[in-house]
A and B are shown apart, each in its own frame.
Chain A
């Protein structure tokens, strides 16, 4: 998912205000689904531990509505931003430095935690080959290998990500058909025997919302590429909506196959649910395919996460929100090498814990806080720049309902996170509060507002009422 501006190209780009417009709907689909598809291979099944089998599929669809609403207004705001950077850029121009600092931090940790979770699953799934295999050296090896690739600036190209994403998705479809679900007499799917309904009642559904996000978390990143679309008004909404529909269909298939093959009490705590479902079929070729599919999805996702998190950290530094030392560019590889090296041990440390559900929870918490702020930004954006005041690549329908849906469902998910993960919730809030205090009391003195706002000020007209 290397859609953030290539730093090699930044010099060329600086001569005009736009990056090269090369992305079509297919690329946008790969950008959105490339990082997120790993959510079908791991993490989503914790919804079953929190809400039961039925709570899991309800959470999957309800949270799907949250993401459909989110990409509607996210795409509108992304289509008018003067630079790539998604919600971070939006916060810069719509909410100011403190919000931009927080959203930047949240995006960085959303992706750093996802990379840690990806490497953790790679280490754990390798242990299924032999009991002699240790997970830790492979967790560290996968992060170091992808860091080295990104350090040298040869991270997988967009077209390779399309291939990896396609292959991983095909393995899910092969698993589905290997169960002969279409034949009542031969089907291996035993939903009535394997599932456990709603063991915690309706409150369990609220609890399951938390990991329901994992099916889709990151799809909103498609708005990051607005600047590089051939036709923003068509490519971005089409690519993002088709990407989201792919994920909703994939999530439903994943739930159906896994819940029909693996008992709910085992599925709810599995590190690699789709692989466990493949093992339950007893077919060696399917088991091997899902083994490879899981590792490919994890590595493709982690690669994109390292690229994205380091570029977000670089952008914050360039805008003087964090020390400017991090915005140094490698003289030979033209990559934000200090940001890449700085974030690497954080990923390794969280991968080292082996606590997959808690690592994922910190990523989800960061994302939910970004969604709440993004929904608030949409209200402010429509007030500052009413329809017709600036040229929009895409106009979100039915405003303000999508923004209200995102606020209500994000708040409900945060409430549901309290059940079972209240310490993580408090720790996450405390972390962002302390970071904000550091920014307000110390860092804001070094903030260079002219650099921070320069790009937007030369690009947009004065907003209404300012």
Chain B
């Protein structure tokens, strides 16, 4: 597996982290 193939997974991972940060805060505010 090449370096750039690994970077694809890193990009997916970062996207998942950002989605979690946005939606966890969104849900927290709405529940509040």
Which residues from chain A sit less than 8 Å from chain B, CB to CB? 129-130, 132-134, 137-138, 140-141, 144-145, 147-148, 151, 330-331, 337, 341, 344
Main SS at interface, chain A:
helix
Query: How far is the CB of B14 from the nearest CB of chain A, in Å?
Result: 6
Give the chain A neighbours of B14 by CB distance below 8 A.
Answer: 141, 145
Query: 9 new A-B pairs (CB below 8 Å) besides A144-B19, A151-B22, A331-B32?
Result: A132-B2, A137-B8, A141-B14, A141-B18, A144-B18, A145-B14, A337-B29, A341-B26, A344-B22
Q: How far is the CA of A130 from the CA of B15 in the complex (A)?
A: 20
CB closest chain-B residue, reference A138: B11
Query: How far is the CB of B28 from the nearest CB of chain A, in Å?
Result: 10
Task: Decide: B22 and A141 in contact? CB cutoff 8 A.
Answer: no
Query: How far is the CB of B12 from the nearest CB of chain A, in Å?
Result: 5
Which residues from chain B sit less than 8 Å from chain A, CB to CB? 2, 4-5, 7-8, 11-12, 14-15, 18-19, 21-23, 25-26, 29, 32
Main SS at interface, chain B:
helix
Contact of B22 among A130, A133, A144 (CB under 8 A): A144
Q: How far is the CA of A137 from the CA of B25 in the complex (A)?
A: 23
Give the chain B neighbours of A137 by CB distance below 8 A.
Answer: 8, 11-12, 15
- A148/B21 contact (C-beta < 8 A), A140-B15, A141-B14 known: yes
Q: How far is the CA of A148 from the CA of B12 in the complex (A)?
A: 15
Query: How far is the CB of B7 from the nearest CB of chain A, in Å?
Result: 7
Give the chain A neighbours of B5 by CB distance below 8 A.
Answer: 132
Give the chain A neighbours of B32 by CB distance below 8 A.
Answer: 331
Task: List 9 contacting pairs A-B, 8 Å CB cutoff, sorted by A.
Answer: A137-B8, A137-B15, A138-B11, A140-B11, A141-B15, A144-B19, A145-B18, A148-B18, A331-B32
